[in-house]
Structure 1
Amino acid sequence: MNPPTSGHVYVVDDNPDIRFYLTDLLRQMGYSIESFESAQAFLQQSFDIFPAVLVLDVRMPNMSGIELQERLRALGRLTPIIFISGESQSEEIIRAMKGQPIEFLWKPFQIQALIDAIERGLAVDALNRQAFIQKNEIRRKWLTLSSRERDVCALMLQGHTNKGISERLDILPDTAKKHRANVLQKMAVHQLADLLALCKSIDLNALGDD
């Protein structure tokens, strides 16, 4: 059995035997563990920890695992999910898979299959956390730009030269050059290629204005 990396595992299952078994086993393997008897308890009591993965039973009273998955997505909480199920209808499986879980395991499952899924989930969550931190850092820098500098930055990312920027914004070329230098300085990059790399896959319009 492959040794695990460090990480946090939430176990949510209304069956106490399964919950206690998984909690004890995963803790012995070196993971930090929190277990919950219901989806509601998880929502009320759990803290958002990184990196983490959620081992989630599909069928539970009051709120199912799939309903919890959808609630977490609505809240913007994207902890990777591993579904475990003893019996599920095809409609449930399809609905669960729409949320792109890491794995869907049928009880009884091989422990190594669970460990492998947990490790994949932790790796995904670590990358998500890194992207979250990077986006917040870009947003912090973006908010230091003046309104005009943001316009210039957007045109820079579109590949416009100082002349093109001056024509589009109806400003002098020297003014465009000054704004361009300010953008690079405030975004903490040395050249346009660095700015492009920093802002790729980021929607600047979604970063806010204040």
Structure 2
Amino acid sequence: MSASTRGHVYVVDDNSDIRVYLTDLLGQMGYSIEGYESAQTFLQQSFDMFPAVLVLDVRMPNMSGIELQEKMKTLGRHTPIIFISGESQSEEIIRAMKGQPIEFLLKPFQIQDLIDAIERGLALDALNREIFIRKNEIRRKWLTLSSRERAVFTLMLEGHTNKGISEHLDILPDTAKKHRANVLQKMETPQLSDLLALCKGLDLKALEP
């Protein structure tokens, strides 16, 4: 399997022996790899790649792995994280887990456990990317709707018929029918079933500017 199909792995660890070992091993296994000796270097030099996962040491000078986790959140970088740690206090582990990492592995760990966590992280990142793209595409179409069409759109997703829409919005059934047709056209969904499938699981609040 090629690197492009396996995904990308960032390794951030100030211990050069561990960093070189992991980057070499994971590279041989078909992942594309980047290794960084510090959290600051990672922030300065890395680029967002998809799907990707970050293998991150907890204790590092200047900026810890947990501080990097929190910094990434503020920057809007949502790469799944796997923490690795030689020694961690319970409060460190609790703080790290609040950021919902894929895994927290204590050194020395089994390589297979790391690989399993990497695969879970890559699968999650691919799914999140797919959802992100779909949401943006829906929002692009939704922004072309008028305010009245957006109200009709919401009622359509709730399962209301033309009659129900006309009653809710106090408009004529024929007017509701026209708005409904406009919604389907602008959302590029030939039928209501297509619109429902497109928007399945979508939080409508996420569409607001």
**TM-score above 0.5, yes or no:** yes
Partner of 2:130 in structure 1?
130
Query: CA–CA distance in 2 between the matches of 1:47 and 1:146?
Result: 38
Indicate the SS of the match to 1:11: strand
Query: CA–CA distance in 1 between the matches of 2:82 and 2:71?
Result: 16
Indicate the SS of the match to 1:82: strand
Q: Quick one: which amino acid aligns to residue 161 of structure 1? A: T
Are 2:202 and 1:187 aligned? no
Cα deviation digits, residues 51-83 of structure 1 (max 9, x gap)? 000000000111111111111122221111110
Q: Quick one: which amino acid aligns to residue 50 of structure 1? A: F
Partner of 1:85 in structure 2?
85
Partner of 1:66 in structure 2?
66
Partner of 2:177 in structure 1?
177
**Unaligned 5+ residue runs, structure 2?**
none
Partner of 1:114 in structure 2?
114
Task: Report the identity percentage.
Answer: 83
The Cα of 1:200 is off from its aligned counterpart by 2.5
Query: CA–CA distance in 2 between the matches of 1:35 and 1:174?
Result: 63
Are 2:118 and 1:152 aligned? no
Partner of 1:102 in structure 2?
102
Indicate the SS of the match to 1:155: helix
Partner of 1:143 in structure 2?
143
Q: Quick one: which amino acid aligns to residue 144 of structure 1? A: T
The Cα of 1:168 is off from its aligned counterpart by 2.4
The Cα of 1:114 is off from its aligned counterpart by 1.1
Indicate the SS of the match to 1:33: strand
The Cα of 1:163 is off from its aligned counterpart by 1.8
Give the number of equivalent residue pairs.
Answer: 208
Q: Which 4+ stretches in 1 moved above 6 angstroms?
A: none
1:40-79 matches, within 5 Å, as 40-79=40-79
Q: Quick one: which amino acid aligns to residue 119 of structure 1? A: E
Partner of 2:15 in structure 1?
15
Indicate the SS of the match to 1:78: coil
Indicate the SS of the match to 2:100: coil
The Cα of 1:129 is off from its aligned counterpart by 0.9
Query: CA–CA distance in 2 between the matches of 1:205 and 1:81?
Result: 27
1:30-49 matches, within 5 Å, as 30-49=30-49
The Cα of 1:157 is off from its aligned counterpart by 1.4
Indicate the SS of the match to 2:176: helix
CA-based RMSD of the aligned residues comes to: 1.8
Partner of 1:28 in structure 2?
28
